[in-house]
Structure 1
């Protein structure tokens, strides 16, 4: 593993432990050249995923980008980081096991919305405001009213 500080390849693993609900290995490393310490994560990757954007542009799937967007929606919300990480891992597992290497950004957004709906309603609405491209406060009102109707209908069933 190359050191992020001096680019030396002389690094040693000092500590390894399970992370992210046993879906990753966290390794603490030490650079032999500059003595810099850094952390790496090792995860199983079932297949290379490609995101197909609304414009048709194709980019490699980036788990960290997904996590950042979810963390923005979750800012200052009373949800344990472990539950957030479990949700992110669940979304990634669903994407990897879907059987298709090409996934649309809409599909990713829908899975995240589903996960956030069960985790935190405020984060769910925050994420929806970006995912559904809200332009005015009326968009928030409409979305919340539709959600109320959907939840009332599902309670009646």
Structure 2
């Protein structure tokens, strides 16, 4: 594994841990040259469905893009990284369990909203307002009333 700090090719595994649910392995590594430590994650390479956009374009599923969307909605909210990781895992499990080769972006958006609703109501409202393209205050009011129930 190449060191992300100095680019040296030799690193040593210092510690290995399996996640609580056994879905991935976390490894702490140390560079043989600069001595800095970093973390790598090892998970199975699974084939996720292609995401079909509203205009018909198809894109590859991108975990980093999903994480960025969640983090944007959760900015300055009291939700831990572990909770976000768990939400991403649940979303990915549902995508894989469906067994489809393609899935509409609307389906992915709905999965994200479900997870955000469980994690943080404010983040849910933030995401839903952008995702559903709210036009006026009445749309917000209806969503807030839904959340209150």
Q: Where on the TM-score scale, by shorter chain, does this alignment land: which range?
A: 0.7 to 0.9
TM-score (norm: length of structure 2)? 0.81
Structure-2 residue corresponding to 1:130: 130
The answer on 1:17 being equivalent to 2:14 is no
SS at match of 2:98: coil
Compared CA separation, residues 54 and 60, structure 1 to 2 (3 A): same
Q: Which runs of 5+ in 1 are unaligned?
A: 152-157
Query: 2:131, 2:44 → 1: CA distance?
Result: 28
Give 1:122 shift.
Answer: 1.2
The answer on 1:30 being equivalent to 2:33 is no
Query: 1:135, 1:2 → 2: CA distance?
Result: 49
Compared CA separation, residues 53 and 33, structure 1 to 2 (3 A): farther
Give 1:51 shift.
Answer: 1.8
Compared CA separation, residues 6 and 81, structure 1 to 2 (3 A): closer
Compared CA separation, residues 21 and 131, structure 1 to 2 (3 A): farther
Structure-1 residue corresponding to 2:115: 115
What count of residue pairs does the alignment treat as equivalent?
149
Compared CA separation, residues 137 and 19, structure 1 to 2 (3 A): farther
Contact 1:21 1:82 in 2 (8 A): no
Give 1:57 shift.
Answer: 2.3
Give 1:87 shift.
Answer: 1.7
Contact 1:73 1:124 in 2 (8 A): yes
Query: 2:20, 2:49 → 1: CA distance?
Result: 20
Structure-1 residue corresponding to 2:95: 95
Give 1:106 shift.
Answer: 1.0
Coordinate RMSD, CA, aligned:
2.5
Give 1:99 shift.
Answer: 0.4
